[in-house]
Amino acid sequence: MMYVGDSDDQFPLGGTINGAWATGYCDGTIGCPSWDKLTYPYVKNWQLMDSPLDKSQAVPFPNGNIKRSFKGAQNVYSGLTGKWWAPAEISKPSINASAAANSAGTIMLTNERNEGLYSGTWWVWSTWFENWVWTTTAGSTRANNPTLLTPNAGDTTPAELGGSNNYWRGVDVSQAGNSTFVFLDGHTKSHSKGYIFPGYQQRAGLDFPVNTAFPGVCLSADQWGSDTSRDCKLPD
């Protein structure tokens, strides 16, 4: 929140799109910017991003090996910056703190592993400098499915079923079935798998209808344009 206070109440951008190396948005120090890298100067401790619920491997970064066990809620860290390989810039701003009427009830971070870790085998630094920023935000509070190919309860369409994608696209939970969430006012709280957070929509993501069988709430936002009408709403 110190970053937000120093940025006219604007939350940091979620991540960076492809092509940013060629157009100057990425550099050799932090690679491509994402919400966690932008807020690091205020935190100064990457270990705070490591959760015991995250069983993925740590990856190399300039000062050792780290994990990012949390994702920003996509309807909070809603922006992307950068350019495609073409010269036209694609940029959507993140939200202003004033857009969150209920800071104590608005999810800021989910305890969710970074799937970029699993696609960074072509270069030892690929996760930190590139892949890390492709998957920085969470689209829902659905729990991941460690059985890989078994759909989550409430999944009904091919896009929702996702097959093996269920392993990394949901929040990590303890053996007791709980996960930790961080809220905009700074407090953290553990909730059980499938908990329906008050004021949120119970649907899988953008363009999905409300589904009372869906095991979570929607945090999705359109990452590519200024239209916010399709974004999953924040609680009042």
51: domain range? 2-84+106-192
In a domain, 214, yes or no: no
| Span 103-153, pLDDT tens digits | 999 999 999 887 655 555 556 666 666 667 777 888 899 887 655 434 445
Scanning the structure block, which residue is given the tokens 């970053």? 3
Output the tens digit of pLDDT for each of the chain's 236 residues. Answer: 677 777 777 787 777 765 555 556 676 676 777 888 878 778 778 788 888 887 777 777 776 777 788 999 989 987 776 655 444 556 667 777 888 889 999 999 999 887 655 555 556 666 666 667 777 888 899 887 655 434 445 544 444 444 444 445 688 888 888 999 999 998 999 999 999 999 999 988 888 889 998 899 999 988 776 677 888 999 98
- Phi then psi dihedrals of residue 159, to 5 deg: -65, -30
In a domain, 125, yes or no: yes
CA 234 from centroid of its chain's CA atoms = 15
- Among 90, 91, 108, which Cα is nearest to 99's? 108
In a domain, 224, yes or no: no
In a domain, 56, yes or no: yes
In a domain, 134, yes or no: yes
Which H or E element spans position 35?
helix 35-43
Number of domains in the chain: 1
Using CA atoms, how far apart are residues 49 and 97, in angstroms rounded to an integer? 22
Are 154 and 211 spatial neighbours (Cβ–Cβ below 8 Å)? yes
- CA 93, 171, 153 angle in degrees (round to 5)? 115
- Among 152, 176, 156, which Cα is nearest to 164's? 152
- CB atoms closer than 10 angstroms to residue 56: 15
In a domain, 213, yes or no: no
- CB atoms closer than 10 angstroms to residue 206: 15
Q: How many residues does the chain have?
A: 236
Are 142 and 202 spatial neighbours (Cβ–Cβ below 8 Å)? no
In a domain, 76, yes or no: yes
| First-last CA distance in the chain | 20
In a domain, 157, yes or no: yes
Which H or E element spans position 3?
helix 2-6
